[in-house]
Structure 1
Amino acid sequence: MKKFIFVAAFALISTFNGIAQEINWVTLDEAIALQKKAPKKIMMDVYTNWCGPCKMLDRNTFQNKDVAEYVNKHYYAVKFDGEGNEVVTYQGKTFKNPNYNPANANRRNSAHQLASYLQVNAYPTIVFFDEKAEVITPLKGYQTPTQLELYLKMFRNGDYKNITSQEQFNAYYTNFKPEFKS
């Protein structure tokens, strides 16, 4: 009982101190439906249950107050298990995981068809979509709050449309002034 009270008190204090912040996760189907009512870009976290960097991304980046507030305000956030067995419809096609093995639910499993379609071949990968649910790009690997901030703002503002070379991206990166706290 004492442990429960301590955990509950810590959670409450953390919330008031701005430590705990929740991203409003929805399914891809829900995000696409929401886009039709109020256009926003989509940020999809493609993860697996066994992936250590995926857990770090959840804990260190997605729980960051600045990241969560920005994502909730400017994106529809989707969490998608890249080796799960969810059936998803995207661009008029149905995607599933026909080789999914329930015995491997918390271990390596077969890749979901949607993950393959989105060119996800590493976890975690954050896939960004425009307001019409067209893929902008997949971003592979763990991102700190300030690393992710660059991409969140670049895609949201449409700056990526003017970056056509590595040199232009390097200049954008060099001139970017992060505001999120780590």
Structure 2
Amino acid sequence: MLTTLFIGLLLNDTQFFKGSVDDLFSTAKEQQKVVVVDVYTEWCGPCKLMDRNTWSNEKVLSFLTENAVSMKIDAEKGEGQNFAKKYKVAGYPCILIFNSEGELIDRRMGYLPPREFLNWANSSLE
């Protein structure tokens, strides 16, 4: 169990974009992919469930790799504070989907199990 959790966290850590929010949107525009942002906090229980169950799920990883540039943003640190304020994030986790031009196209708040995330994300892209 501990090994599975470690592998899931390792996979989780590598799928998310490292860099600034501006670089995130530039990369998505260059690659013509949507942007998926997970706005979280360190103390948020449902956020930790997303890490354990959703972001480490093979189908979710595949979806994100093929369709999106994704990033986790801590709403209480660094540029995450301004990002959360700009997009009026009122609870956690808050998942935001932007088109490749950086326009917000959909948002969901709260824990999303893998299947629910995929159904929502796919419908948002239609």
Distance 1:134 1:37 in 2: 15
Deviation at 1:61, TM superposition (A): 0.6
What is the correspondence of 1:75-154 to structure 2 with a 5 Å cutoff? Answer: 75-86=68-79, 112-154=81-123
Distance 1:134 1:29 in 2: 13
- Establish whether residue 45 from structure 1 lines up as the match of residue 45 from structure 2: no
Cα contact 1:41–1:76 (8 A) shared by 2: yes
Q: TM-score, normalised by structure 2?
A: 0.84
Distance 2:15 2:107 in 1: 20
Q: TM-score, normalised by structure 1?
A: 0.59
Bigger Rg, which one: 1
Q: Name the structure with the higher helix share.
A: 2
Deviation at 1:155, TM superposition (A): 2.0
**Which residue of the partner structure matches residue 30 of structure 1?**
23
Cα contact 1:42–1:77 (8 A) shared by 2: yes
Cα contact 1:67–1:149 (8 A) shared by 2: yes
Q: Which has the higher contact order (CA 8 A, sep 6+)?
A: 2
How many percent identity over aligned positions?
Answer: 29
Deviation at 1:32, TM superposition (A): 1.2
Q: How many residues align?
A: 120
Q: What letter is aligned with 1:118?
A: Y
Note the residue ranges of structure 2 that are not aligned, 5 or more in a row: none
